């Protein structure tokens, strides 16, 4: 029974503004996508990685990542879609077609390139323990306000009950397949599963699993590395 990680990496990285797809942006000479894939395999729990690559860079990504798989595993690369959900759907359909023994599916953003392998292993372990859907989360540090369309505060949700969501998000393969074929739309994978009536379990996330979105985030990542992590 295989654990398969889908890696949406087809975004353009417009907010980063680096002039190339974000997944290919290097930190200390190693592209974010390479770091993300290394982390998945380093968890010791993932056999296959399916990358939804920028359409213009499928061959490049294939060459750069093929050697990262451990014995008995593989990296698969396909062209991503217009939106993140399209990329995940394409990668999921590919995985279910070419890896017939897929039992657990992770969805992990290439942009969360510094996620500790322990977090990845914890997500897989929780799915193995019987949870249909599992997400890593962090407590909310700031107070959150709900505002109306002109920016006036409507309410102040209780921060103690709020969580920031990271990836990898883990699912029983059939749970994610059913959600993606339900015709329901949602912006994140666990949200989609949740709308399909599935309970979503949480495990502790990690500050290093932050999403690289802006130049500030990239500077934080570079500082992390200069602090000793490679």
Question: Per rule CB under 6 A, is residue 9 in the interface with ligand CTP?
Answer: yes
Tell me whether residue 190 is exposed, middle or buried, using C-beta atoms within 10 angstroms of its C-beta: 0 to 12, 13 to 18, 19 or more: buried
Q: Which of 8, 39, 136, 168 binds ligand CTP (CB under 6 A)?
A: 8
Assess 10 for contact with ligand CTP (CB under 6 A). Answer: yes
DSSP state of 209: G
Question: Which stretch in 8-16, 88-96, 124-132, 211-219 sits in contact with Mg ion by CB under 5 A?
Answer: 8-16
| Residue 11 sits in the site that holds Mg ion (CB under 5 A) | yes
* DSSP single-letter state for residue 14: T
Residue for token digits 């997500």? 123
Instruction: Work out what residue 109 binds among ligand CTP, Mg ion, none; the CB cut-off runs from 5 to 8 Å by kind.
Output: ligand CTP
Residue closest to 125 by CA, chosen among 45, 63, 179, 195 = 45
The CA distances from residue 26 to 59, 85, 162, 207, 213, in Å, are 18, 25, 33, 20, 14
Residue (109 or 122) nearer to ligand CTP, CB: 109
Cα torsion 202, 126, 175, 167 to 10°: value is: 50
Note whether 80 binds ligand CTP by CB under 6 A.
yes
- Our finding on whether 15 is near ligand CTP (CB under 6 A) is yes
Q: Least distance in Å: CB of 182 to ligand CTP?
A: 20
d(CA 36, CA 13): 16
- Total binding residues toward ligand CTP, as defined by CB under 6 A: 22
Distant-in-sequence, close-in-space partners of 145: CB < 8 Å, separation ≥ 6: 153, 154, 155, 156
116 binds, among Mg ion, ligand CTP, none (CB under 5 to 8 A by kind): none
Q: At its nearest, how many Å lie between ligand CTP and the CB of residue 166?
A: 12
Q: Please report whether residue 22 would count as binding ligand CTP according to CB under 6 A.
A: yes
Does position 111 interact with ligand CTP (CB under 6 A)? The reply is: yes
Judged by the rule CB under 6 A, the positions of this chain that interact with ligand CTP are: 8-15, 22-23, 52, 80-84, 87, 109-111, 211, 213
């Amino acid at each position: 029974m295989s654990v398969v990680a889908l890696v949406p990496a087809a975004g353009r990285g417009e907010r980063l503004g680096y002039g190339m797809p974000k997944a290919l942006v290097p930190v200390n000479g190693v592209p974010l996508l390479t770091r993300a894939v290394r982390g998945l395999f380093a968890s010791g729990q993932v056999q296959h990685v399916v990358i939804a690559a920028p359409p213009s860079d499928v061959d490049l990504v294939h060459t750069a990542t093929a050697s990262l798989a451990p014995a008995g595993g593989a990296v698969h690369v396909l062209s991503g879609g217009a939106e993140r959900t399209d990329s995940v759907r394409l990668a999921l359909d590919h995985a279910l077609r070419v890896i017939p023994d897929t039992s657990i599916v992770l969805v992990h953003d290439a942009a969360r390139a510094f996620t500790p392998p322990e977090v990845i292993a914890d997500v897989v372990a929780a799915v193995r323990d019987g949870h249909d859907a599992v997400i890593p989360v962090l407590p909310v540090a700031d107070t959150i306000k709900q505002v109306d369309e002109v920016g006036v505060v409507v309410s102040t949700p209780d921060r103690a009950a709020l969580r920031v969501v990271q990836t990898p998000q883990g699912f029983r393969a059939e749970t994610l397949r059913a959600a993606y074929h339900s015709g329901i739309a949602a912006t994140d994978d666990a949200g989609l599963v949740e709308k399909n009536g599935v309970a979503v379990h949480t495990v502790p996330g990690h500050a290093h699993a932050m999403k690289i979105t802006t130049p500030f985030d990239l500077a934080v990542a570079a500082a992390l590395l200069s602090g000793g992590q490679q």
